[in-house]
Structure 1
Amino acid sequence: MQLRPKYWVISLMLLSVLAIAGCSGDLSAPESDGSPTATDVTASPVASADPDRPFDGLPSLEGQATVQMTVNGSPITINVDGTKAPVTAGNFVDLVERGFYDNLTFHRVVREPQPFVVQGGDPLGNGTGGFIDPATGEERQIPLEITPEGESEPVYSRTLPAAQINKPPELQHTRGAVAMARSQFPDSASSQFYFTLADLSFLDGNYAVFGYVTEGMEVVDTIQQGDRIDSARVTQGLENLKR
């Protein structure tokens, strides 16, 4: 959906004041555009022996999976798409399977001046935290992963404009999309995710969508800042997760 002119003004306002955090770090780091980004732009990139394969050693989802997240006693069903975002989807499903999201809060909810996002997944609850991998003792971060429309392989570590690909992503920010927050550094997403409350096409190509709410969007619409995730469970497709 194309935003009408007045909505572009509102969108720019949101981008100028809203910082959606996605990894731990220095809160004094600049927050330049306010879109789904983390506060730490100095975070280390994903470790990989091959810079052309920033996903080496990370979980991946080879196919589809279904996650049921319960908030305030009500279920939200998420279809997680590993066919278009295997690393981003694999990271999320892996964290769900670990029970990482259970009892975490939604630390940021933005509905004014227009419906925007509901964000959670920060273990610190303040927008600066991420998943600390017990195997390494360090925060696990994943590369920005976007598959252009009609392509079979994702683009890694670059936004679509930066990659000079004049195609929209296969997975777009329509209402009910589930995507990863990150910092200005592309490869800085960790555990924080957000639900989109409206069609937000101006985020397409800059942040990695990995699934969609298929049931329970009315539950997402009622989430308030401070509400907790009761539980999150993989109900289908766990066999597609490769660690």
Structure 2
Amino acid sequence: MKLIALAFAGLLGLASLSTQAVAAEDDYLTIQLKDGPVVVQLLPDVAPKTVARVKDLAKKGEYDNVAFHRVIEGFMAQTGDVEFGDMKDGYDAQRAGTGGSDQPDLPAEFSSVPFERGTLGMARAQDPNSGNSQFFIMFADGSFLNGQYTVFGKVISGMEYVDKIKRGEGGNGEVNDPDRMIKVTVGRK
């Protein structure tokens, strides 16, 4: 009887591990760029509302074909304007970077996680609670952003493809004929 109880406990442990593996897979985002896939580890313990929003938009396909409308050498690449940045449906070069999703803005989720190379942060207007769908990927460390913007993820592979994103020429990093996120999926695909 004791042996059966131990075997049953072992099976429960395996079931628990497989549930954790499924949950862990859900904490990754894959962004397909022109040069290859970028895998991001999401940080739901750090920014749960932001991570939930990004996953929701990715699952709905809203990030697919969205332009990197603002890209500044040595700083970051900004994307995620699902309203005006979709390069296959409704792209508006003049307005890209001013839109968001049809969902309400998010509250800031500031943390002690630093802005380092490969960090993903939620873009916002002057109001700290105005993040919606746009985000940026850091090309380099940016400690001046620490505690000012919501960190929600970190590139764990494919940073070499992020480095190849077309840079902007304008004073604010505006990009003519920008690169785009071809497809964004939840998981490491």
TM-score, normalised relative to structure 2: 0.73
Establish whether residue 179 from structure 1 lines up as the match of residue 138 from structure 2.
no
Aligned to 1:122: 81
Could you list the structure 1 runs, at least 4 aligned residues long, displaced by more than 4 angstroms after superposition: none
CA contact (8 A) 1:117 1:197 kept: yes
Q: Which amino acid aligns with 1:222?
A: K
Map of 1:123-142 to 2, 5 A cutoff?
123=82, 124-125=84-85, 126-133=96-103, 140-142=104-106
Q: Which amino acid aligns with 2:102?
A: I
What does the per-residue CA deviation read over 1:44-63, in whole Å, with 9 as the maximum and x for residues that have no partner?
Answer: xxxxxxxxxxxxxxxxxx97
Equivalent residue of 2:27, what SS?
Answer: strand
What is the count of residue pairs matched by the alignment?
Answer: 144
Establish whether residue 84 from structure 1 lines up as the match of residue 27 from structure 2.
no
How far apart in 1 are the matches of 2:130 and 2:49? 13
Structure having the higher helix fraction is 2
2:185 corresponds, among 233, 236, 240, to 233
Give 1:73 deviation, angstroms.
Answer: 4.7
Equivalent residue of 1:173, what SS?
Answer: coil
How far apart in 1 are the matches of 2:35 and 2:63? 15
CA contact (8 A) 1:73 1:230 kept: no
Q: Which amino acid aligns with 1:121?
A: G
Can you give the 5+ residue segments of structure 2 that lack an aligned partner in the other structure? Answer: 1-22, 86-95, 167-174
Q: Which amino acid aligns with 2:179?
A: D
TM-score, normalised relative to structure 1: 0.57
Give 1:172 deviation, angstroms.
Answer: 1.3
1:208 corresponds, among 150, 153, 158, to 150
Q: Which amino acid aligns with 2:184?
A: A
CA contact (8 A) 2:116 2:138 kept: yes
What does the per-residue CA deviation read over 1:150-191, in whole Å, with 9 as the maximum and x for residues that have no partner?
Answer: xxxxxxxxxxxxxxxxxxx1x210100001000111111110
Q: Kindly, what percent of the aligned residue pairs are identical? A: 39
Aligned to 1:145: 109
Q: Which has the larger radius of gyration?
A: 2
How far apart in 1 are the matches of 2:136 and 2:44? 17
Can you give the 5+ residue segments of structure 1 that lack an aligned partner in the other structure? Answer: 1-61, 134-139, 148-168, 237-243
